[in-house]
Amino acid sequence: MTDSIGQPAWMTAPATAAVLDALEAAGGADCARFVGGCVRNAVVGRPVDDIDIATVLTPDQTTGALAAAGLKAVPTGIEHGTVTGVCQGRGFEITTLRRDVATDGRRAVVAFTDDWGQDAQRRDFTLNALYARRDGSLVDPTGQGVADAKAGRIVFVGEPEQRLHEDYLRILRFFRFLAWYGKTGADEAALAACARLKDRIASLSAERISKELLKLLAADDPRASVELMLKAGVLEMVLPEPIDIERFNGLVEIEADQLFETEAVLRLAALLPGDQLVAARLAETLRLSNADRDRIVEALAPGPALKSWMSPREIRRTVYRLGQAAFRDRAKLAWAAAARTAPAMQWRGMIALADGWVRPVFPLSGEDVMAAGVPKGPMVGQVLREVEDWWIDHDFLDDKLSAIEKLKAVAQGMAY
């Protein structure tokens, strides 16, 4: 009996049908099949986001077929045979069947083919070398893909080292797919090959490495995969700094236990040592976005130290200084590092108070300071900061008149 994924909604949607109709009008029935992630996720019962299609049509033929049907074609990877078809605002990555002619571990020279088996042989893992026809029937050229997907086995197509020499990013992809789809532990041959070739990661661009790393860390529970990366010497090729694996493990556990949102960037911060200079240097090396870099650096600041027993007043004062996002990040990291010695209720209550508090606006301005007799210049800021410190110490007193009286007292005590 042929395996089938049925016909889920994404497969029969009008936009999907229109793209397949266009391709089949040019190449005949079964000239195009669904491939890769959408098929894999359908097999294992996970949501499908992106829809990729493989076809025997050449890129030029694909472009012509889409145009004939009134659909947009974007040459997103034409040298590798990929055209993105756009229908009803949705993109479909359509790639011609291909085989590798030459590879250097970073990029490949490909030749187009009409052989589905050859196309499957150049893919990374058996669970990604699956195709589905329009009627939902599965095509499994390696003979292992469906079984491996259902069992959660991450197995390279053919010889692991050969697959890795084609693209060294597959070393990181192995651990990423293990984190997302693995159920039975690591394939020993694959793990050994990744360990032997780990030095080749240095040949990859920082952008490719960081993108793959953050995808790995976004898995529900990447702890086992990260531990294997550490033991295999792969993690140090990506993060060449001392690793705080205990804090990382603690954060993942907290997120799972407390139903917090999974945040890959904060997990990366948890892995790093508590040194802002090291974090900033590593963020630059990985070419992280400015926002991700700043978040990690801020999360790893040495102070103020957060404790689970902070009073509500102390929490409000700290949130005012740090902002809610930075406070939440630091609280989670402090909680993770504390080995859960304090009751979870205390940490969660602290974060909830910070998230629910509306940060007040300091009621005075520079104009108020000058109205109190302080001449325009640096002294204005100095006086304003001193009064703001008083206002914070008084738990953000909701009384502008009292703040003005304090301002007058400070201003009278200043020597201009």
Cβ atoms 3, 138 nearer than 8 A: yes
Q: Determine the Cα–Cα distance for residues 113 and 118; give it in Å rounded to an integer.
A: 8
What pLDDT was estimated at residue 1?
46
pLDDT in tens, 317-360: 999 999 999 999 999 999 999 866 668 889 999 999 999 999 99
Per-residue pLDDT at 275 exceeds 60 = yes
What is the DSSP code string of 281-296? HHHHHTT--HHHHHHH
Q: How confident is the model over 362-391, as a mean pLDDT?
A: 92
Choice between 2 and 369, residue whose per-residue pLDDT is larger: 369
Per-residue pLDDT at 90 exceeds 90 = yes
Residue with tokens 């497969």: 11
Q: Which amino acid is residue 177, in one-letter code?
A: F
Q: Determine the Cα–Cα distance for residues 68 and 85; give it in Å rounded to an integer.
A: 12
Residue of 96, 85, 8 whose CA lies nearest to 49:
8
pLDDT in tens, 196-225: 999 999 999 999 999 999 999 999 999 999
- % of the chain with per-residue pLDDT over 90: 84
Cβ atoms 93, 137 nearer than 8 A: no
What pLDDT was estimated at residue 394?
93
Per-residue pLDDT at 124 exceeds 80 = yes
Per-residue pLDDT at 89 exceeds 50 = yes
What pLDDT was estimated at residue 104?
61
Verify cis geometry, omega within 30 degrees of 0, for the bond prior to 14. no
pTM of the model: 0.89
Lowest mean pLDDT among 96-110, 112-126, 350-364: 96-110
Per-residue pLDDT at 107 exceeds 70 = no
- % of the chain with per-residue pLDDT over 70: 96
Residue of 144, 124, 117 whose CA lies nearest to 54:
117
Residues with Cβ within 8 Å of 11's Cβ and at least 6 positions away in sequence, in order, are 5, 34, 132, 134, 136
What pLDDT was estimated at residue 105?
56
Residue 100, number of CB atoms within 10 A of its CB: 15
What pLDDT was estimated at residue 333?
95
Q: How confident is the model over 55-76, as a mean pLDDT?
A: 96
For domain 1-151, give the CATH number. Answer: 3.30.460.10
* Domain spans of the chain, in order of start: 1-151, 301-356, 366-412
Q: Cα–Cα–Cα angle for 274, 306, 220, nearest 5°?
A: 65
Q: Determine the Cα–Cα distance for residues 305 and 389; give it in Å rounded to an integer.
A: 19
What is the DSSP code string of 213-252? HHHHHTSS--HHHHHHHHHHT-HHHH--S---HHHHHHHH
Confidence of residue 380 (pLDDT cuts 50, 70, 90): very high
Confidence of residue 299 (pLDDT cuts 50, 70, 90): very high
- What would you measure as the largest C-alpha separation in the chain, in angstroms? 92
Q: Which amino acid is residue 152, in one-letter code?
A: G
What pLDDT was estimated at residue 303?
86
* Residue 391: both structure tokens together: 């206002």
Please provide the distance, in angstroms rounded to a whole number, between the alpha carbons at the two ends of the chain: 92
Choice between 147 and 1, residue whose per-residue pLDDT is larger: 147
